[in-house]
Amino acid sequence: MGLLDGKVVIVTGAGRGIGRGEALECAAQGAAVVVAEFDPERGEAVAKEILASGGRAVAVAGDVADADTADALVGTAVAEFGQLDALVNNAGILRDRTVAKLSDEDWDAVIRVHLRGHFLPTRAAMRYWRDAKRPGHLVHTASTSGLLGNFGQSNYGAAKAGIAAFSTIVAMEGARGGITSNAIAPSALTRMTLDLMPQAYRDGREASVERGEFDFFAPENIAPLVAFLCSDAASHVSGKVFGVQGDSVEIFQPFTSVAEIRNDGRRWDPEDLSGRIDELFTASGIQAGPENMMLRMRHQILGEH
Ligand SMILES: NC(=O)c1ccc[n+]([C@@H]2O[C@H](COP(=O)([O-])OP(=O)(O)OC[C@H]3O[C@@H](n4cnc5c(N)ncnc54)[C@H](O)[C@@H]3O)[C@@H](O)[C@H]2O)c1
């Protein structure tokens, strides 16, 4: 018995990396999988891998930020497997540059693939679940680059923070129909991130994997949480943002107000704010500058971007 027996799941960007792991795990848990992938060969290869291990899968090639492709994903799930139960929005790209060097094209491409690429398949799924009067599960892919910030990734981080907000709002809109919406911030070594690692680190990792040790940054480590969030076992979990890497699953605190200053029922004067803003930092324990070691590091990264 699998967690997703009899279910139908779409995974976008499933031709490699984290998405491939998610597609394989959902199939291993009993789901029929629509493998959505920009690169047709990679998508077909993953669908074949699932079929070869006795599962059900079909590949759909195309750009998830294109409405016809997004609609075709849901259409294919229903035509091939009779229904849709969950959608995993995972497809993504990077175009890293500091803001001053960032081109219009690199801004637009990243915002388009991530935000439109999450919105359009989600809209197609939400319309299907509304019309079919069925519940459903959505998993979206955010990133710590959006939640914490990351040097050289203003386009990507803005899109990823937008995805966390998008997921929260879809959770509100889906609640009455039994639709859950959650976001993950994964971390894994894939085509997207491997090149950022020093060669010595990559060699060390390969050696430790050869010794049979747990590969903390394997992209397949993201999939168990995602399969769980796609299942009815997670029907009570919605509007949340999870961190996931290796054997670690974290939950992020939502944006929340933690301190307040008032001005006795009158509009603030900017000069008065300059005298009182520190009250917020004192009351909340939040610092005016970077909060912790990770953020201090991210503020100080220098180099050619
Ligand atoms: N790898 C990490 O550490 C990490 C960290 C945070 C977030 N993420 C996010 O996880 C997701 C998967 O990343 P990955 O590391 O596996 O990357 P990857 O590059 O290995 O795989 C991404 C896949 O998405 C596909 N894709 C890209 N644009 C597409 C489009 N428009 N339509 C259809 N398919 C498209 C690519 O062809 C590729 O197969 C991305 O959203 C990424 O931003 C990854």
Q: Report the catalytic residues.
A: 143, 156, 160
Ligand 1 binding pocket includes 224 (Cβ within 6 Å): no
CATH number for the segment(s) 8-251 = 3.40.50.720
C-alpha of residue 142 to centroid of ligand 1, in Å? 11
> Which residue is it, tokens 């603030």?
268
Separation between Cα atoms, residue 91 and residue 13, nearest integer Å: 4
Ligand 1 binding pocket includes 110 (Cβ within 6 Å): no
Report the atom number in ligand 1 closest to the C-alpha of 191: 20
Domain ranges in the chain are 8-251, 259-305
- pLDDT beyond 90 at 265: yes
Alpha helices in the chain (DSSP H): 17-28, 40-52, 67-81, 104-111, 117-132, 144-147, 154-174, 199-210, 223-229, 270-284, 293-300
Grade residue 302 by pLDDT with cuts at 50, 70 and 90: low
pLDDT of residue 35: 98
- CA–CA distance from 135 to each of 30, 180, 227 (Å)? 18, 8, 16
Tell me the per-residue pLDDT of 227-248, one tens digit each, with 9 for 90 and over: 999 999 999 999 999 999 999 9
Mean pLDDT of 49-72: 98
C-alpha of residue 13 to centroid of ligand 1, in Å? 6
Grade residue 148 by pLDDT with cuts at 50, 70 and 90: very high
CB 11 within 8 A of CB 36: yes
